[in-house]
Amino acid sequence: MPPTTDLVVQKIETRADGSLRAYLRSIAAIVWKDLAAEFRSRELIGAMLVFSALVILIFNFALELDIRTREAVTSGVLWVTFAFAGTLGLNRSMAIEKDRGCLDGLLLAPVDRNAIFFGKAIGNLFFMLIVEAIILPMYSVLYNVNLFQPGLILVILLGSIGYTAVGTLLASMAVQARTRDVLLPILLFPVLIPLLLAAVKASNGFLMGFEMAEIMPWINVMIAYDVIFIAVAFMVFDFIVEE
């Protein structure tokens, strides 16, 4: 038996006995592949960061962010920035897969289709969190607002999870269309509205120091959104990459 066939047989066997472990391992492999590629080129996070900085600067002029308005609009400015920077990252991350034929390669690999989805989504989540981790201190310094509150971090985490779950699903459709760059935000934003609304409201609650009872409904909306759409994406992703 030639060694390559041996390897394939071995892979199939590992899938058969420790299928969950193999599943997790293939997810990790895809995440790792994305992170390693990004670490080498740095084109995705770099673009997202510069774009976010520009959006925040534009808001500064557009809204005249003096000390009083600043408190009221900070959460809105942050989420608009994240949402726009996110589409940039999502488009790029899926377009790379498509253009370099990586997606076809991934599909040929003996991994579950869903593992591809979770791998890509977790990779995108990492990129988003990295960008947010840089934007938050930048915003704090520029506008002298303390954004490092555990509640706000939780909201950003919940928001980013839902955003990347739906975003990865829709971006993998959008990149296969003729009009892909314009299509993603048009597909994504109307579906994201409940998540963004809840994220803005919850962030604002934490920044203004509201009581937990007022913030909890929004947190619950975000958790529900995340759970529902991760489940939906899990069920339908197969049909997007099926060829």
Partner 1 sequence: MERTPKALKVLTWLTSAVFIVALYLVLIWAPQEAIMGDVQRVFYFHVAAGWVGALAFLVTAIVGGIYLARGEQRWDRIAVASVEIGVVFTFINIVTGSIWARPIWNTWWTWDPRLVTATIMLLIYIAYIMLRQGIEDPDRRARFGAVYGIVGFISVPITFASIRIFRTIHPVVVGSSDPTALGAFDMNAEMRVAFFFSLFTFTLIYITLLWYRLRLQQQKEKIEERKLTALSS
- Per CB under 8 A, which region of 29-37, 91-99, 104-112, 171-179 contacts partner 1? 171-179
| Cβ at position 226, least distance to partner 1 in Å | 11
Instruction: Give the position of tokens 């296969």.
Output: 176
Angle at 8 between CA 7 and CA 13, to 5 degrees: 95
Phi/psi for 109 (5° steps) reads: -65, 145
Asked if 193 is part of the footprint of partner 1 (rule: CB under 8 A), the reply reads: yes
Closest CB to partner 1 among 40 and 178? Answer: 178
> How far is residue 238's CA from residue 222's CA, in Å, rounded to a whole number?
25
Measured in degrees and rounded to the nearest 5, phi and psi for residue 214 equal: -80, -25
Q: Which is nearer to partner 1, 14 or 176 (CB)?
A: 176
Which parts of 62-116 are beta strand (E)?
none
CB of 132 to partner 1, least distance (A): 22
Output the CA–CA distances (angstroms, integers) from residue 96 to 6, 49, 61, 68, 81, in the order listed. 31, 18, 34, 43, 23
Interface of this chain with partner 1, residues 201 to 220, rule: CB under 8 A: 201, 217-218
Whole-number Å distance between alpha carbons of 41 and 47: 11
**Under rule CB under 8 A, residue 12 binds partner 1:** no
Kindly identify the residues of this chain, within the stretch 219-238, that bind partner 1 according to CB under 8 A.
221, 224-225, 228-229, 232, 236
Contact region for partner 1 (CB under 8 A) — 10-18, 33-41, 136-144, 182-190? Answer: 182-190
Contact 128, 89 (CB under 8 A): yes
Q: In this complex, which beta carbon is closest to partner 1, that of residue 103 or of residue 131?
A: 103
Among 138, 180, 210, 223, indicate the residue that binds partner 1 (CB under 8 A): 180
Q: Is 204 exposed, middle or buried (0-12, 13-18, 19+ CB in 10 A)?
A: buried
Instruction: Specify the stretch interacting with partner 1 by CB under 8 A; choose among 11-19, 32-40, 163-171, 203-211.
Output: 163-171
Q: How far apart are CA 127 and CA 192, in angstroms?
A: 19
Asked if residue 222 lies in contact with residue 198, where contact means CB atoms within 8 angstroms, the answer is yes
According to the binding rule CB under 8 A, does residue 190 interact with partner 1? Answer: yes
* Shortest distance (Å) from residue 71 CB to partner 1: 20
- Largest distance between two CA atoms of the chain: 74
Please state the closest distance from residue 141 (CB atom) to partner 1, in A: 32
- Residue among 30, 103, 166, 219 that touches partner 1 (CB under 8 A): 166
What gap in Å lies between CA 153 and CA 204, rounded to an integer? 12
Q: Which residues bind partner 1 (CB under 8 A)?
A: 166, 169-170, 173-174, 176-180, 183, 186-187, 190-191, 193-194, 197-198, 201, 217-218, 221, 224-225, 228-229, 232, 236, 239-240, 242
